Amino acid sequence: MSHARLPQPSRRGILAAGGALGLTALLAACGDEKKDGSSKESGADSGPWSFKDDRGTTAKSESTPKNIVAFTGVAAALFDYGIEVKGVFGPTKTKDGKADVQAGDMDVSKVTVLGNEWGKFNIEKYAGLAPDLLVSTMFDDAGTLWSVPEDSKDKILKLAPSVGISVYDRQMTQPLQRLLALAESLGADVKADKVVKAKKRFEAAAERLRKVAKANKDIKVLVGSASQDIFYVSGTNLSADLEYFKSLGVNFVEPSESAKKASGGWFENLSWENVNKHAADIIMMDNRTATLQPAGLGKDKPTWAKLPAVKAGQVIPRVTEPIYSYDKCAPILEDLADAIEKAKKVS
């Protein structure tokens, strides 16, 4: 989601705020294993392929897709399982040409970028890739594919089968499982040592966060996102990461339902004059490049600098749009556990 869309009080702007388990990938055929044994090549010359997504739609192809196009964060997750895409859409490169935080470990110089910000999608470039699969996440219950423009979606979706992975109103573990299943259907070796170790690390991190949260119940965590005119306070409902952290016992600041109403239930809008409305010991701040970052807020927003958590140096990043691989989600849990364990009560 771009900075320009943050103020929009709609589900399209949800991430400023910050069943599926029963759906299974049908692996009709696998490609050859890579030499390091970590994964299988996507697009192997094989028999029919299909995958039932979180819309209840089954994407089908005569063979395992090889010309894959995906939202940047989804492409980064697939990359962690050894599946490389041909094209991406969504924040991919920063102004200096480096990889955006949502690009993970992908070499962004080797993918075709169809649009470098939310909602930008070059249909001509997309068609030129001869795509046989498009993949994105979904942040509503209507099956809307994230960052696929509403006004051109019909043209886009006619060109190739599509898969939607829901990250809406469910816990982080569900999209993690679904993207792993998708990667497996595309040829990934999900029993590779790297994958197994990453999953074990995630599970250990979750257990540690649970213990730390229980031992520090009085530490209040506020989840925020900053634009020039508005400070957004996220509620924990609907967001897969926050719902999961809450289930592990993290004590979050919760805006009232009436305050969240204007944004479809995602977040509360505060003016910078009222940024101190909620008492908090830790502030998790949206880390996306389209949002204002804490390092630059102290000078321009004096009310920010006066917040107790800011004074105490207890501000940490929130990975607002996680890369849903175990390798990338484990550190998120570890960092939050560290912050809670070290935090002083300042609220």
DSSP 301-323: -HHHHTSHHHHTT-EEEE-SS--
Paired sense of beta strands 112-113 and 87-89, if any:
parallel
Sequence-ordered strand ranges (E) for 18-63? 25-26, 49-52, 58-61
- pTM listed for this prediction: 0.86
Best mean pLDDT range from 25-29, 38-42, 261-265: 261-265
Which pLDDT score, from 0 to 100, does residue 34 have? Answer: 34
Whole-angstrom distance, CA of residue 45 vs CA of residue 100: 33
Task: State the chain's mean pLDDT as an integer.
Answer: 88
* Angle, helix 173-185 to helix 326-342, in steps of 10 degrees: 160
- Residue range 244-268: mean pLDDT, rounded: 92
**Alpha carbon of 152 to those of 157, 202, 242: distances in Å?**
9, 38, 31
Which pLDDT score, from 0 to 100, does residue 242 have? Answer: 98
